[in-house]
Amino acid sequence: MIKMKKLVILFVSILFCGVIYAQTSTVQKADEAYSKGDYQTAVDLYQEIAASEGVSSDLYYNMGNAYYKMKEYSRAILNYERALLLNPRNQDAQFNLHLAKMQTVDKIEPIDRIFLAEWYSSVQNRSGSNTWAIIAIIAFVLFMVGLTLYVFSSKTFLRKLGFFGGVVLAIICILCNIFASGQKERLERREFAIVFAPTITVKSSPADSGTDLFVIHEGTKVKVRGTLSGWSEIELPDGNIGWLPSSDIEII
């Protein structure tokens, strides 16, 4: 029985090592193709990795770089945005996204938001949902330590430290949970998209007969407010709203 267990463990270990080797080999092939300028092969290999192993911020970033080199800026923007969706702190993706956007036609100025809303969004986007959740757990554990000091300590200094520290940590815990929930909702809702049609006329209604409102171009980021019969109602950063065919956009 013991010998059989050892054989099973050995088999699983060999299988696991084989999978890791295959994954590493594919990544190396993709990186080599990119370094040689064979960007389409690199994209194909990165997509193969995504299908077999799942996606990551770095993987989307690498695909974005390959598309950027091929001057497919709308697809580069899409992948950089997806990289930032998974890891808002990916500074390389932030920088390259800015470069890719410079290659697009539309330069839309967003509506000014009040300072608190801008600050809240900026702080929330500093980390992903998992990081905020971990910070919230740590803050809660420390809060319990502070509560213990306040309830059981006989020293006035430690009781005050436990009370005021506990209040601060409780606030941090609540805020981090709110930030984590917001980031998780962003991942699940996926309400933003990138335009892929070279030029598209946005309509006043979900039909070709609708009134022409304005024109946008590929690479523009839009918010999807809803869909109906193959059409999507979109909102631009400047507040303009209209309808366009759902086939002309791809969800981030």
pLDDT in tens, 7-25: 445 444 444 444 444 456 7
Where residue 114 falls (left for φ over 0; alpha for ψ -120 to 50; beta otherwise) is beta
- Measure the CA angle with vertex 37, ends 24 and 51; round to 5°: 40
Which residues fall within 8 angstroms of residue 168, CB to CB, at 6 or more apart? none
- Could you give the CA distance from residue 71 to residue 30 in angstroms, rounded to a whole number? 18
Map out the domains of the chain as residue ranges.
Answer: 2-101, 115-189, 192-251
The top-scoring range by mean pLDDT among 1-10, 11-20, 152-161, 216-225 is 216-225
Domain 192-251, architecture per CATH: Roll (2.30)
> Which pTM was predicted?
0.78
The 3-state DSSP class for residue 199 equals strand
pLDDT computed for residue 24 by the predictor = 61
The burial class, CB within 10 Å (0-12 / 13-18 / 19+), for 199 is: exposed
CA distance 24 to 32: 12
Residue 121 confidence (pLDDT): 80
Q: Which of these CATH numbers, 1.25.40.10, 1.20.1250.20, 3.40.718.10, 1.10.10.10, describes 2-101?
A: 1.25.40.10
Higher pLDDT: 114 or 61? It is 61
